[in-house]
Structure 1
Amino acid sequence: MRTTLTRAGCRLAAALLCVSALPAAQALGHQPAAPPRASVREAAPETARAAADPAYRILAFSKTAGFRHSSIDDGLAALRELGSGNNVTVDATEDAQAFTAGNLARYKAVVFLSTTGDVLNAAQQTAFEQYVRAGGGYVGVHAAADTEYDWPFYAGLAGALFHSHPHNQTATLRVEDRAHDATAHLGRTWQRFDEWYNYRSNPRSAAHVLASLDESSYTGGNMSGDHPIAWCKDYQGGRAFYTGGGHTDESFTDPAFRRHLLGGIRWAAGMTEADCRPETGYVPLFDGSGTAGWRQAGPGSFTLGDGTLTSQGGLGMLWYAGREFTGDYSLKLDWRMDGDDNSGVLIGFPASDDPWSAVNNGYEIQIDATDAADRTTGAVYGFKSADTAARDAALNPPGEWNTYEIRVTGERLEVFLNGRKINDFTNTDPARSLAQGYVGLQNHGDGDQVSFRNVRIRTSGGTPPPGPRTGPVKGVNGKCADVAGGASADGTRIQLWTCNTTAAQTWTVPGDGTLRALGKCLDVSAAGTTDGTKIQLWTCNGTGAQQWQPHTDGTLRNPASGKCLDAEGATWNDGTRLHLWTCHTGPNQKWTLP
C-alpha cells in the first residue's frame, strides 16, 4: 500500500517520497556484527533545497521615528530580488495606514525592516495584533528590536528589545539550529561583520535560538556569554522570526545573509516548517564534530561531512553506545531525505552490535513518507500510525530539513515533527521497555540516503534543569576541582586542590551541560576519547568536549567519549591532575556539584 502525502498550498506533489513495504525485522536484516566503532567517512556538503513555493505576498515596512539606517534601501532591493526569484510579491511602504485588518489580510508575512521608535498608533497596533493572532507572520530585521518599547505585544513578538551596541566589527556566530530554513545553509559557525546589538533581556526562555554570538570573538557584548542573535517563536497564533544582522549596507548583498533572511521569511509565511519551541537543557550526542561514542551495527555506514551524518548501504544501524538511557527523556534530532529514501530512529534496545536487538527489543520511529499507515514517517514502525493529518501539515518535503522530538515518559512514547505532535503510543509488550535502552539511526540500504544533524537529549522527564548554580566541585579526599594557578588562559590544566573558596574553585552549572569557571568551560583536550586525556579550561564553544552529565553513582561523564572525569593515580594530593578515564565508579571518580 502506498499513501500519497499532500500539504495545503505546498510543494509535496512535486517531490519524491520514499517507499518501504518490508516488515520491521526484514527492514533491518539479520547481518553479521560490524566492527565496534562507527563506520564514518568524510562527505561533501549538503545539496540545495528542492521545489519552489506557491506564489505569496509580503509587506516590507520600514517607517522610522528614530535613527534611520542607510541599509534600508539596500534591504528593500534585496527583498525585491529575493521575491522575484522565489515567487514572492513584495509590497513596500512607510505608511502606517497600511496597517488595517483588510489590507494586512493580503500578506503571509510583514517584514519590519530596521524600523525605529513608535511607528504605529493604537488602531494600527490593534489591527496588527489581530493579524498575528489570525496566523500572520512577522519578520524583524536588526533595528526592528529598537521599535515600539511601550507596546507589550510587540516586545513579546520581537522576542527582545535593543539595549546598546559596540562599534561595527567582525564576530563569530554559533549556529545552534541547522535545520531551520534560515540557518540550514550555514556551517556550525558563521563569521560576519556587522553592528551587534545587546538586548534588554535574553529571549532564550521564550523563543527558539537559531544563532548566538560568541562574545569572546569581539568586544562589547554584555549578555554574560549567552547572546542570542537570531531566533524564531510561535506567538499568539502567529509566527515570529528575528535576526539581529542587517545594519550594514553590505549585509544585503551577502549571499549567506540573504539566504538567512529568505529562510526566515519562508518560515514566517508558512512555506516551510520548523520546531520553534524554546529549547534548553539538551546535551549533544552528535554535534557535527565527530562520532565518539557511536558504533556501527550491521553492514553499511554513515558518511560525515559539513557536520552531517548521511546513511549509505545497509541494512544496519549506527547506535550511541556511550550511554544507556533509563527513565524519562526527550531525544531530538534533525533529518532530511533527498528523494525516495528510507530510514528511522531506533530507541529502547539493549547494547548489541547485532541490529536484530533493536528490532526485537526496541521501537523504530519511521522516516519513509509513502508506505502503509503503520510504516510511514512518524509511525512507530509496525505498531501505530502517525496522525497523518497532523504529520502531513508538519512535514517538509525531500530536500528540506525536519526535526523530530521523541519523548519517553515511562512506557509512553510521543513523537513530535517540527514541533507538532503526530504520534502517542504506549508500550504494553513485556519483552520491550521504553524506559531503558539505547538509541540509534538506521541505514536502510543501497539507494537510501537520509541525513542527520544535531542529535541531542534531555533527561529527567523532558523538564528543563534548574537554574544556574555556583560553588565548588568536590571530589576525592574532600578536595576541590581547581584551575591551576587561577589562570584563565585556554589550556590551563584542572587539578585537585584543598578547597579554598577562590575564583579558581568557583564553578557554575548553567544548565546547558557545561561546567564553567573564570568565564570559560571544563573541556576535554582536543575532544579526546582515550584514557588519560587532559582536562583543561577552554573558551566555551558548544562542542561535545565541554558537555558533562552527573550520574546517580556520583560520576561526572562526558557523553561524547563515554568516559568519566577522574583524578589521576591513587594518592590524590594537591596538584593531582584531572583527566578522562574509563568509568569505574571508584572514589576518584565521584564528584559533588554545587
Structure 2
Amino acid sequence: MRSFLRPALGVATAALAVLACTSQAAPVSAADAAYDVLVFSKTAGFRHDSIAAGTQAIRDLGAANNFTVTATEDAAAFTTGNLAQYEAVVFLNTTGDVLNASQQSVFESYIGSGGGFVGVHAAADTEYGWSFYGNLVGAYFASHPHIQQATVRVENRAHAATAHLPQTWTRTDEWYNYQTNARSTARVLATLDESSYSGGSMGADHPHSWCKTYNGGRAFYTGGGHTQASYAEPAFRAHLLGGIRYAAGRAKADCRPETGYTTLYNGSTSGWSQAGPGSFSNADATLTSVGGMGLYWYSGKQFTDYSLKLDWRLAGDDNSGVFIGFPPSSDPWSAVNNGYEIQIDATDAADRTTGAVYTFKSADIAARDAALNPPGEWNTYELLVEGERLQVFLNGVKINDFTNTDPARSLAGHIGIQNHGTGDDASFRNIRIKELGTPPPTGNTTVQAEAFSAASGVTPFTKTGANGGQTLGYIDPGDWAAYQGVDLTGVTSFRARIVSGGPGGTIQVRTGSTTGTVLGSVAVPNTGSWTSFADVTTALAGVPSGPQTLYLTFTGSGSGLFDVDDFTLMKGSGGAGPIVGLGGKCLDVRNAGTGDGTQIQIYTCNGSAAQTWSVTPNSTVRALGKCLDVSAGGSADGTKIQLWTCNGTGAQNWSAQADGTVRNPQSGKCLDVSGNNSADGTAVHLWTCHSGANQKWTLP
C-alpha cells in the first residue's frame, strides 16, 4: 500500500477487488537477459518426423525472444565444458538410450550445478535404465492411442508455459499414457480429460505437462509435440517457450508438488464479499481490481492453521496485498487493524514491498528479487500459517518468516485480497487453501531467532544459508532476546542452529526475565567461519508449562560472539530424535542438504539436525522440514530413498513393524542399508523385506 499511510496505531491499508484477465498470445519475455539453449534430438528407437519442425520452431522462438539455439544429435556434445555454456538443454523427441555412462555423469553434474531441462513428448520414452533421468523427466512413457483431438485441462495458469492458455485447451496430438503419475514429485500444470478422447489409461488424474526442481536444477516436461502441425500452433509454441524460459531460469514458478488444496476461487465467487469501495471484475477465472480502496474477502469461513496459495499479477507499477487473520466485517479497516497484510508492490520501501508483512517485517529482499517475476507476468504466493507463525513463499522460495506477538492481532481469521485504487491494476487466480489442523501438543517448536518480541544489543542480520534469510546477529556479552507467548508445555531440551567466525560463547535459556532462573545453557563454538552453520543442544530442567516469555541471554569474552539462526524447543514425548540402524549408525540426510532429492544414508551418530527425525506413527518421517520419500513412488528393489517436500503421497508413508523393520505400505518394501554395509555414507534404499540386521531400526 504505497500511497496509504497508517494511522498512529501502525495500520496498513486494506481494499480489495476481483480480476478480469484476457489470454495473452504469448508469455511476456522481451525483457529476458540473453541466454543459450541446446536442442538435443538423438534417437535410438522410434524417430519422429516432427523433429525438424520442432527444432526450427525453437530456433524461431529464440530469434524472437533473445536466446540462441544450437541443435545437435551428437551425444559427444555432452561434455562439462560444452554444457556449461547453455542455460537449458531440450530433449526434443529423443528415444531409447542416447547417452553413455560418462555423458550421463556430465549431464547429472550440469543439472546439479543449476542447469535446466526441457523434455518434449518422447523425452519420456528415453533412458529407461537411468534412474536420475527418470526422476528428472518425471514419468516414463507407457503407451499411446492413435492421433486424435482431446481436451487438455490447465490446472496451473501461473506458470509461463500455461499462463496464456484457457482453462480448457482443445488440440490434436498423440496422447501419452505414463507408467507412473508425476503428481507426487512435480507440480502438474495440465492434465488430459480422458472422456474427451479414446485410449487413455490413467483415469481421472492424467498429468500431461509438469515442472519440478531436481538436484539443484529445473525441469519442464510436456506430453505434446508428436505432430509436425504442433509446432505451427501459436498456443503450443507459447507453451514450449514458457517451459524453456522456466528451465533457463528466466521465468520463476512454484514447481513444488501440490495436493490436498480446496479451491476458494477459480472462477466462482461463491462465499466472497466486497468490503468498502471498488470491486473486482471476474472473467476467465481471473479477478481484476477495480477502483478502491476496498477488500474482497472470503466470508464463507475463518481459518487457523493453513497453507493459502494464490496466483497474482501486476500490470505495471501497481499496488495490492493479501490480508489474513481478521474478523468478519463489512469495514475494510477491520482487516487493517486486526490482521496483517502481505504486500504486493515491488517498488515501495523495504517494510512495505512485495513479500513484506506490511510495516511489520521486510521480506528478505535478495531472496525476493531472485524469485520475483516482473509486472505483466504471474507470481505465486504461499502463506503458511502455523499458530502465530507466518512464512511467506514467493514462487516456491521462502522470503519472509514472521511471528505475531501482538495480542490485539492474530493470524487466525478470514482472508482477503485488496483493490487499492484506480490505476492500481492487480489480478488474482486460483486461490486455494489447505487446512493443516492444530499441531499436536507433542510436536517440537522451531522459532526464527531474529523474530524476537524484545531485545537488547542484537539485531537481525541478512545471511546466505540462513533459514528464513536472516540470523540474530551482532551478539556481544550481556545481550539478550525475548520471545513472547512460547508454549513450553512438555519441553525437555533446546537446540539452536548457530554460526560463528568469532570467539563463540554461551546461550542461556531463561523465563520470566533476563535474570530469571537458567533452565539450561549450551556452549557455542567457533564453527570455522561466518558461513558454516552447526547445531548445539542442551537439556532443560524446571521448565514451566503453558505460554511463557522465553529469554535467550548471551555470555562470552570479546565481541561478535556468534549468530543464532533459529532454535527448536524439543518435547520428550514428541517422537523426535535419531533413528538408529546397522552398526549403531544413525539415519542421516547427506551433507544436511535440504534440496528435493537429497540422498539418505547412515552415518556415525552426532546429534545434528540432519539426524533428528520426527516420526508420526503410520505416517511421515521428517527431518529438516521435509519428508523421507521413496523416489518417484517406486517399488523396485534398490529404489532411492531421499528427502523431499512433504506432499501426503504413499511414497512418504512409513510404518514401523514389530520385527524392527520400517515399511513403506505403498510398495510393501522396507527401509534397507545398501549392501549390509555399516560404513559412514552408505546409502539407504528400498528393498524386499527380510528382517535382516540392515533392515532393523530403533525409532525415537
| TM-score, length-scaled by structure 2 | 0.61
1:445 matched to 2:421? The reply is: yes
Aligned residue for 2:385?
Answer: 408
Query: Which amino acid letter does the alignment assign opposite residue 294 of structure 2?
Result: G
3-state DSSP class of the match of 1:28?
coil
Measured against aligned partners, the alpha-carbon deviations of 1:515-572 in whole angstroms (never above 9, x if no partner) come to: xxxxxxxxxxxxxxxxxxxxxxxxxxxxxxxxxxxxxxxxxxxxxxxxxxxxxxxxxx
Distance in 1 of aligned mates of 2:177 and 2:291: 48
Q: CA deviation at 1:373?
A: 1.2
Aligned residue for 2:698?
Answer: none
Query: Which amino acid letter does the alignment assign opposite residue 408 of structure 2?
Result: A
Distance in 1 of aligned mates of 2:301 and 2:427: 22
Q: Are the counterparts in 1 of residues 313 and 378 from structure 2 also a CA contact under 8 Å? A: yes
Distance in 2 of aligned mates of 1:408 and 1:101: 43
Aligned residue for 2:353?
Answer: 376
Superposition pairs of residues 392-541 of structure 1, within 5 angstroms: 392-434=369-411, 436-460=412-436
Q: 1:45 to 1:144 in 2, by over 3 A?
A: closer
Q: CA deviation at 1:27?
A: 5.5
Q: CA deviation at 1:28?
A: 3.2
Aligned residue for 1:385?
Answer: 362
Distance in 2 of aligned mates of 1:201 and 1:281: 19
Aligned residue for 1:252?
Answer: 231
Q: Are the counterparts in 1 of residues 194 and 200 from structure 2 also a CA contact under 8 Å? A: yes
Q: CA deviation at 1:52?
A: 2.1
Aligned residue for 1:269?
Answer: 248
Superposition pairs of residues 61-460 of structure 1, within 5 angstroms: 61-287=40-266, 289-326=267-304, 328-434=305-411, 436-460=412-436
Q: Are the counterparts in 2 of residues 27 and 444 from structure 1 also a CA contact under 8 Å? A: no
Superposition pairs of residues 571-582 of structure 1, within 5 angstroms: none
Distance in 1 of aligned mates of 2:352 and 2:141: 48
Q: CA deviation at 1:290?
A: 2.2
**Please, which runs of 5 or more residues in structure 2 have no aligned partner?**
440-700
Measured against aligned partners, the alpha-carbon deviations of 1:41-61 in whole angstroms (never above 9, x if no partner) come to: 967556862642111110000
Aligned residue for 2:637?
Answer: none
Q: 1:74 to 1:460 in 2, by over 3 A?
A: same
Aligned residue for 1:518?
Answer: none
CA RMSD of aligned residues (A): 1.9
Distance in 2 of aligned mates of 1:459 and 1:277: 18
Q: Are the counterparts in 2 of residues 50 and 399 from structure 1 also a CA contact under 8 Å? A: no
Q: 1:181 to 1:44 in 2, by over 3 A?
A: closer
Q: 1:135 to 1:52 in 2, by over 3 A?
A: same
Q: Which structure has more RCO (C-alpha within 8 Å, separation ≥ 6)?
A: 1
Q: CA deviation at 1:91?
A: 0.2
| TM-score, length-scaled by structure 1 | 0.71
Greater strand percent: which structure?
2
Q: CA deviation at 1:305?
A: 1.6
Query: Which amino acid letter does the alignment assign opposite residue 94 of structure 1?
Result: E
Distance in 2 of aligned mates of 1:45 and 1:121: 43
User: Which structure has the larger Rg over C-alpha atoms?
Assistant: 2
Q: Are the counterparts in 2 of residues 336 and 451 from structure 1 also a CA contact under 8 Å? A: yes
Distance in 1 of aligned mates of 2:286 and 2:243: 22
Measured against aligned partners, the alpha-carbon deviations of 1:393-421 in whole angstroms (never above 9, x if no partner) come to: 00111011000000000100000000000
1:28 paired residue among 10, 13, 17? 13
3-state DSSP class of the match of 1:107?
coil
Instruction: Using the aligned pairs only, state the percent identity.
Output: 69
Distance in 1 of aligned mates of 2:13 and 2:361: 18
Q: Are the counterparts in 2 of residues 58 and 107 from structure 1 also a CA contact under 8 Å? A: yes
Q: Are the counterparts in 2 of residues 49 and 399 from structure 1 also a CA contact under 8 Å? A: yes
3-state DSSP class of the match of 1:421?
strand
Measured against aligned partners, the alpha-carbon deviations of 1:217-266 in whole angstroms (never above 9, x if no partner) come to: 11111112110000000000000100000001100000000000000000
Distance in 2 of aligned mates of 1:44 and 1:198: 32
Q: CA deviation at 1:446?
A: 1.2
Q: 1:290 to 1:86 in 2, by over 3 A?
A: same
Q: CA deviation at 1:23?
A: 2.5
